[in-house]
Structure 1
């Protein structure tokens, strides 16, 4: 690669690294800075007075267990998708 291309890519990387730090206003999770669409939807549903018609069969004892189960689910899905792509790629090379 040319030296000018490497310099431009380096400047872009630095800007992409520093821009979020500059744009961060110092507000934390308690002030709603990191609140997402799920939080907003949950608050709107609670304000409407909606009553769920069923309850969960089992609720994890802590947030850490819930995060673990979510990560496990994501890992299993990634393994299945990776296997499928690898299988299809292997079949294509075989032919």
Structure 2
């Protein structure tokens, strides 16, 4: 009986997750999903139209143009994955150190 209850809960949660992901795409017709870089550039242009960036991305200099959006997303996801991996590793080490410390005190 408990297994059927858990299955029902999992299905309901999956449906809710799918709705959370897809409803905004259809509810916000004509909305533009831009990044903070674009918004920041627009604000800078409004405040000081004569502003010239003093640096440009290194990869853009190497390849001689702007990276495609898919490659930027891939690099961002890779950077995020590496960061999460490092944080998870450090947290795991701290938890294990705490567990080992408790075991030594119990002896």
TM-score bucket of the superposed structures, by smaller chain: 0.5 to 0.7
Structure 2: stretches of 5+ with no match in the other structure = 1-11, 61-65, 102-107
In the alignment, the residues of structure 1 paired with residue 55 and residue 34 of structure 2 have an alpha-carbon distance, to the nearest angstrom, of 26
Aligned pairs for 1:1-95 (under 5 A) are: 17=19, 21=23, 24-29=27-32, 34-35=33-34, 37-47=36-46, 48-49=48-49, 50-59=51-60, 61-95=67-101
Structure 1: stretches of 5+ with no match in the other structure = 1-9
TM-score by length of 2: 0.56
Alpha-carbon displacement from aligned partner over 1:53-75 (angstroms, at most 9, x marks no partner): 12222126311111111000000
Which structure is higher in helix share? 2
Please give the root-mean-square deviation of Cα atoms over the aligned residues, in Å.
Answer: 3.3
TM-score by length of 1: 0.62
Matched residues, number: 82
